[in-house]
Structure 1
Amino acid sequence: MAGANVSEFVLGGVAACGACLFSNPLEVVKTRMQLQGELKARGTYQRHYRNVFHAFFTIGRVDGLLALQKGLVPALWYQLFMNGVRLGSYQCLVNLGLTKNRKGEVSVPRSVAAGAVAGCTGAFFGSPFYMVKTHLQAQSHNVIAVGYQHTHSSFTTAILHIFREGGVTGLWRGVTAAVVRVSAGSAAQLSTFSTSKELVIKANLFHPQSIAVPLLAGMASGVVVVCVMTPFDVISTRLYNQGLDARGKGLYYSGFTDCLLKIYQKEGLLGFYKGWSASWFRLAPHTVLSLLFWDEARKLYKKARGAV
């Protein structure tokens, strides 16, 4: 039983890493667009990135094509830890029957609660890697620079710098925003994935073991996640990327609530949806791929165990 539970965490993390290889360039674009015009009213700042496609072209032309994979190492570690814990925890709750009602059917409220708990746990473990990922992805040539510019040369130097600057707790700076972000996204993602998967199977459109089942369920889940998660994603990116003053306090925001209020006051409601298109282009395929890889990996693992 213990070995099976451990496998759920490993399979979830590996599946998310596989998706990350494809989605990381979109994460770079999303991060830049979310930091563009930070705490400035619309029309008062230069827009280096007009849309997703323009951002891809601009980053590739100015920073080089390899810049589109900036932060890949911490991004992979983040996916391994955050989604390994998140998906593994959620599946353990599913295995215990905690996401179903008395009739044995998938319960939306229970699935949402299980997804939120799993997301909260995963966000805590993955927080240091997300911070470093954001710092590295925001780095660019000063011609197209947006947001605070950190000077880390690699993943390792970034971790050491942050640790020296703020100690162990410094590695978890901004974790409150990450917990809200991932909890909201996870609750939306996992509950809609489970529900959509059940509906697709009941419709008898495909064989229950067909790859089309998790693919369609993942597509439906991706749309919901983008709508729910983007505002929290913007807040999380801002808090993680801000610099620190001489006292070790954030230069722009003191915390989650302060960041939320300042974005609203300076940028309006649309400020919470900066980079929305990039978020969709990134989250939708990442959600589909990670859930698809996860579902298929679990099938292969069960088949392998059955053959032993």
Structure 2
Amino acid sequence: MGGEGSPLMELAKEMGLAGATAIIVVNGTHPIDMVKTRMQINSNFSITAMVKEEGVRSLYKGLPAALCREAAYTSIKLGCYQPIKNVVKSVYFTEGTDTKKELPFVLKFASGSAAGVLGSFFGNPFDVLKTRMISNTGKSVSLGSAISNVHQERGITGFWRGLSANALRACVLNGTKLAVFDVSKGFVVEQTGLPRKDPRTVFLASACAGVAMTLAVAPIDMIRTKLMNASASEYNGLVDCVVQTVKKDGPLSLYRGSFMMWARFGPQATGQLVVFEFLRNIFGLESI
């Protein structure tokens, strides 16, 4: 790994830069996430009606929870990818092998997935709070009130409601995002001769990652949102939610809000990865 210092300090630097990156980017992409979540919850959702009834500021409902979520979730899922990949690389390549060789796609996917699942556990409480705050169509609910409401209704375990769907989503999302980004950078370098750190390389690779993420994650994200917003008795777990949704609205309903998801994932993936690579370069960390 690039830079100096102990592995623990390097990990802290990776996570700190990832968290800072995510907090910067989420301020611009939160309104898109807000609209996407409302579309998933309500098939008759209209952004015009929402703005008319709740005001333009409603586009930023749930932002405090989103900021906390990014600090907890993205700092781990993005910041732990390179350290985990380096460990996998040290095990995969035997002694005497050129460790500068690239890992197979499946191992890059596994590294991203592992970081994503770990991050989802710590970010799940804020995902629950964000979803509840966004889905509220009345007066904006404060973060403190949302915490109190969830605890009163479901106890401490309520903050981890939907964890199975969230972990699955994080596994697929982060594995796809970082593996496709990593591999796409190599492809761009081979085809153009640009350096891996070049902003043009990073931009093109992150755009590919955004499209791949959307196709892979849209159905999982739909089910996760429904589980987090449902009453305690509405669904009997992940599979039951999928079955009921498909029976009621058809299989294509699993992709409801997918355009808004892409509209969010595209700019978010590009913004996160461009800023993250920029900060990594400044602080002496190797390029992903």
Flag whether TM exceeds 0.5 (same fold): yes
Q: What is the match of residue 240 of structure 1?
A: 228
Q: What is the match of residue 137 of structure 2?
A: 140
Q: What is the match of residue 110 of structure 1?
A: 107
- Equivalenced residue count is 273
Residue 20 of structure 2 aligns to which amino acid in structure 1? V
Q: What is the match of residue 118 of structure 2?
A: 121
Per the alignment, in what secondary structure is the counterpart of residue 80 of structure 2?
Answer: helix
CA contact (8 A) 1:152 1:158 kept: no
* CA distance in 1 between partners of 2:239 and 2:89 (Å): 32
Residue 242 of structure 2 corresponds to residue 260 of structure 1: yes
* CA distance in 2 between partners of 1:208 and 1:230 (Å): 29
CA contact (8 A) 2:34 2:60 kept: yes
2:259 pairs with one of 277, 293, 296: 277
CA contact (8 A) 1:86 1:122 kept: yes
* CA distance in 1 between partners of 2:45 and 2:160 (Å): 30
* CA distance in 2 between partners of 1:29 and 1:165 (Å): 26
% of aligned pairs identical? Answer: 28
CA contact (8 A) 1:119 1:186 kept: yes
CA contact (8 A) 2:61 2:140 kept: no
Higher percent of residues as helix: 2
- Which contiguous aligned blocks of 4+ residues in structure 1 show a shift greater than 6 angstroms? none
Residue 26 of structure 1 aligns to which amino acid in structure 2? I
The alpha carbon displacement at 1:299 in A equals 1.0
* CA distance in 2 between partners of 1:242 and 1:65 (Å): 26
The alpha carbon displacement at 1:242 in A equals 1.0
Residue 160 of structure 2 aligns to which amino acid in structure 1? W
The alpha carbon displacement at 1:182 in A equals 1.1
The alpha carbon displacement at 1:101 in A equals 5.9
* CA distance in 2 between partners of 1:236 and 1:117 (Å): 19
1:95 pairs with one of 63, 74, 86: 86
The alpha carbon displacement at 1:61 in A equals 2.2
Indicate the RMSD between aligned Cα atoms, in angstroms: 1.8
CA contact (8 A) 2:169 2:217 kept: yes
Show CA shifts across 1:102-143 (max 9, x none): 4511310101111111111111110000011011111115xx
Q: What is the match of residue 28 of structure 1?
A: 34
Residue 67 of structure 2 corresponds to residue 79 of structure 1: no
Q: What is the match of residue 177 of structure 2?
A: 189
Residue 284 of structure 2 corresponds to residue 296 of structure 1: no
Q: What is the TM-score normalised by the length of structure 2?
A: 0.89
Q: What is the match of residue 221 of structure 1?
A: 209
1:159 pairs with one of 116, 127, 147: 147
* CA distance in 1 between partners of 2:34 and 2:180 (Å): 26
Gaps of 5+ in 2: 1-5
Residue 189 of structure 1 aligns to which amino acid in structure 2? K
Show CA shifts across 1:41-65 (max 9, x none): xxxxxx232xxxxx2x332222111
Q: What is the match of residue 171 of structure 1?
A: 159
Q: What is the match of residue 9 of structure 1?
A: 15
Per the alignment, in what secondary structure is the counterpart of residue 48 of structure 1?
Answer: coil
